[in-house]
Amino acid sequence: MNKIFTTVAVSIMSATACYSLPLLAADTVEKVKSENQAITISQDKQRLIEKLALISQFSADFNQQVIAEDGTNLKPSSGTLAVKKPNLVFWQTQSPDETTIVSDGDTLWFYDPFVEQATAYSVNDSIANTPILLLTSTDMSQWQNYQVSQTSSDSFAITSLLPDSRITSLDLTFTPNRAKLSSFAFTDATGQKSVITLSNFDSKTSIPASQFVFTVPEGIDVDDQR
């Protein structure tokens, strides 16, 4: 699948354990410290979920920069993006090569006109390897596959807990004090990182349903992976 797209319920420690930390045995101290970290992760995940809940849809232009594992900058690309809950996505790269990704809620289509092929994936099966779909999902159970940490007041890091995930991490950055996504970046299993910067972000204008419908062009081969 195209690399465009790459947390867990945790325990809550009691207040008594927090205040008793200096009196605990060494191995218990380490356990408490670990649980403290778990609390932070849980709170961070909740903050991110609350931010995303404020965005029911948006459209934007994007610029994408891909950085290889050795730090080499690969050819940049640009295009348009539209997202709408639940599970509707339109992504079209216009330069330098045209590719289109469309999710109609049930099927995720990846169309590459250069190779004259369209590939169909199940959306439910794709979320595990496509964490950007967390922006559109209303299924809270999907978050069990990811860990979240808040890296700044407006930035969050999402890490996959699945050992075979193609996308290992996803970083989201919001415009300060606003429910507006300004950029996101994801790293795949090979160490390659893609940084997507958004412009002309619009969460108010209604997006037509037809935006999320993909019709296979005449003469194009279909690889059905559903």
**How high is the pLDDT of residue 154?**
92
**How high is the pLDDT of residue 52?**
86
Asked if residue 83 belongs to a domain, the reply is yes
Asked if residue 108 belongs to a domain, the reply is yes
Domains held by the chain: number:
1
**How high is the pLDDT of residue 21?**
26
For the ranges 25-29, 93-97, 112-116, 132-136, which has the lowest average pLDDT?
A: 25-29
Asked if residue 116 belongs to a domain, the reply is yes
Rg (CA), the chain: 20
**How high is the pLDDT of residue 17?**
21
What is the share, in percent, of the chain residues with pLDDT greater than 90? 38
**How high is the pLDDT of residue 79?**
94
Asked if residue 11 belongs to a domain, the reply is no
Asked if residue 46 belongs to a domain, the reply is no
Q: What is the pLDDT of residues 140-168, one digit of tens each?
A: 777 788 889 999 989 999 888 878 777 88
Report the run of H or E that residue 171 belongs to, with start and end: strand 167-174
The two counts, helices (H) then strands (E), for the chain are 3, 12
- Rounded to an integer, the average pLDDT of 173-187 is 88
**How high is the pLDDT of residue 127?**
64
**How high is the pLDDT of residue 216?**
95
Is the Cα torsion angle 87, 81, 212, 203 positive or negative in sign?
positive
Q: What is the pLDDT of residues 99-136, one digit of tens each?
A: 999 999 899 899 999 999 999 998 877 765 666 667 77
Asked if residue 207 belongs to a domain, the reply is yes
> CA distances (Å), 109 to each of 14, 18, 34, 127, 204, in order?
47, 49, 41, 13, 26
Structural domain span for residue 167: 56-224
- Rounded to an integer, the average pLDDT of 62-69 is 90
Residue 16 has pLDDT above 50, yes or no: no
Read off the CATH number of the domain in which 71 is found. 2.50.20.10
**How high is the pLDDT of residue 133?**
65
